[in-house]
Chain A
Amino acid sequence: GQQLNQSPQSMFIQEGEDVSMNCTSSSIFNTWLWYKQDPGEGPVLLIALYKAGELTSNGRLTAQFGITRKDSFLNISASIPSDVGIYFCAGLLEGSNYKLTFGKGTLLTVNP
């Protein structure tokens, strides 16, 4: 099946630092989504991107839909301990019936 390459696989940062993660694919997507999953819970939608080049913020989170439509990144500024969790990118291929393809996730650890 379609693969999304998400990197880095894990990050260990100090509280207050900024962090960036990205997702790339060999195929074109017409929607990019970023989810966060806390231990023992299901993924929660953070940001949705619908147009190439779109830059969207949600509090300390900023995400962009790549111009080529094959990539996206997520930035978290001034990290806090509750940012700990696994961040997933997910993409919707053009023409699919909202069948999401997920990356393998980035595990973020924030040291207080």
Chain B
Amino acid sequence: EAGVAQSPRYKIIEKRQSVAFWCNPISGHATLYWYQQILGQGPKLLIQFQNNGVVDDSQLPKDRFSAERLKGVDSTLKIQPAKLEDSAVYLCASSRTGFETQYFGPGTRLLVL
């Protein structure tokens, strides 16, 4: 079974630029999560989708972050405009349902200069 795919793996941008990350979950997984992992910290949930609906986005900085999962499969996370403090690893995870084990992708490492 293929794992969670993410791209790009690395991205370097300047502050105030925009950036987008893509995630393709494990086939058949209805629930998709985006996490932010700052260096030295554990992952922090940004947004959770159940199929193409948002379940929890309480920790998503909505003034600059947006995410969508239009067809209930793959998802994109966008930052516009980026700030220095957005430098982090952005992890995507998926689970079969919202109550089962989450499987993580390799992450996208973002550096904002």
Contacts and interface: CB of A to CB of B under 8 A. Distances in A.
Interface in A39-98: 40-45, 48, 88, 90, 97-98
A97 B101 contact: no
A108 B45 CA distance: 24
A97 B48 contact: yes
Contacts of A41: 106-107
B38 to A, nearest CB: 10
Contacts, number: 58
Contacts of B44: 1, 102
A56 B40 CA distance: 27
A104 B106 CA distance: 18
B102 A100 contact: yes
Interface residues on B, range: 20 to 34
Contacts of A6: 42
22 contacts: A6-B42, A33-B101, A35-B104, A40-B109, A41-B107, A42-B91, A43-B91, A45-B102, A88-B42, A97-B55, A98-B31, A98-B48, A98-B98, A98-B99, A98-B102, A99-B45, A99-B56, A100-B43, A102-B41, A103-B42, A105-B40, A105-B41
